């Protein structure tokens, strides 16, 4: 990550911290932007004491920051979910999963009253799909799903070889998709046998987009 990108991500992360009520039960996403958010939490001890995490990587950082990581099954709801994205539109529809944590991210987002997405301005797009769409698949179905993606959707799936998700599954990164209707595509791809999670966050988009820009922070 370049220093410039790092600075913009940090701006978004710090702005998100201001949106977190003291004592909130927080959902925490995954990735370099979220890591900056966790660092901001660590610099404000006691502001948040408990969180549900979307990945083993974030759990380790949260624990190191003195924040108790709780099982989603042990709580009834989350006040807020803070996570990054690989692409975001003005409608706050997202592509996520560059870091491979999309399944748990989608679960934690679904449990949260409010989803605050933190990005730097380079992630903003008018149409999703320049970033290859990550899809988590059951390993035995990988090639079956890849064929369906090629034949039925015109995509070019590339297996993230050598990588296993926290759930023990594979990821296909799908290039060249034309995403005109993200909600419909998310629904259709979700129905392919063997697909665990699609990295489109459109049926449940972010509620707020916090964008770190060269001139400051924009909230959308």
Residues tagged active-site: 105
Nearer to ligand 5RP, 41 or 102 (CB): 102
Query: What is the distance between the alpha carbons of residues 157 and 164, in angstroms, rounded to a whole number?
Result: 16
CB 83, CB 117: distance < 8 Å: yes
Helix axes of 182-190 and 142-153: crossing angle, nearest 10 degrees: 140
Interaction of residue 212 with ligand 5RP, rule CB under 6 A: no
Least distance in Å: CB of 141 to ligand 5RP? 20
Interaction of residue 17 with ligand 5RP, rule CB under 6 A: no
Query: What is the distance between the alpha carbons of residues 198 and 136, in angstroms, rounded to a whole number?
Result: 7
CB 51, CB 156: distance < 8 Å: no
Interaction of residue 132 with ligand 5RP, rule CB under 6 A: no
Q: How many CB atoms lie under 10 A from the CB of residue 24?
A: 18
The site string for ligand 5RP over 84-103 (x = CB under 6 A, - otherwise) reads xxx---------xxxxxxx-
Interaction of residue 33 with ligand 5RP, rule CB under 6 A: yes
**Alpha helices, H only, the chain:** 3-18, 32-42, 56-64, 102-111, 142-153, 182-190
Least distance in Å: CB of 181 to ligand 5RP? 21
Least distance in Å: CB of 167 to ligand 5RP? 12
Least distance in Å: CB of 151 to ligand 5RP? 27
Give the residues lining the site for ligand 5RP (CB under 6 A): 29-33, 83-86, 96-102, 105
């Amino acid at each position: 990550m370049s220093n410039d990108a790092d600075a913009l991500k940090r701006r978004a992360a710090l702005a998100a911290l201001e949106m977190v009520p003291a004592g909130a039960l927080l959902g925490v996403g995954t990735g370099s932007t979220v890591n900056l958010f966790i660092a901001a939490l660590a610099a404000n001890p006691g502001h948040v004491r408990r969180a549900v995490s979307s990945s083993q990587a974030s759990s380790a950082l949260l624990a190191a920051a003195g924040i108790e990581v709780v099982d989603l099954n042990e709580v009834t709801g989350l006040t807020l979910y803070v996570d990054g994205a690989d692409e975001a539109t003005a409608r706050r529809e997202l592509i996520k999963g560059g870091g491979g944590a999309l399944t748990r991210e989608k679960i934690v987002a679904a449990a949260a009253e409010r989803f605050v997405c933190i990005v730097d301005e380079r992630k903003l797009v008018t149409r999703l799909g320049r970033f290859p769409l990550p899809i988590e698949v059951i390993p035995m179905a990988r090639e079956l799903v890849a064929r369906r993606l090629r034949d039925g959707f015109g995509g070019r799936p590339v297996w993230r070889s050598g990588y296993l998700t926290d759930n023990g599954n594979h990821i296909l990164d799908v290039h060249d998709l034309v995403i005109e209707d993200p909600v419909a595509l998310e629904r259709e791809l979700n129905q392919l046998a063997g697909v665990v999670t699609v990295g489109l966050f459109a049926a449940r988009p972010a509620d707020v987009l916090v964008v770190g820009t060269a001139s400051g922070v924009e909230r959308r």
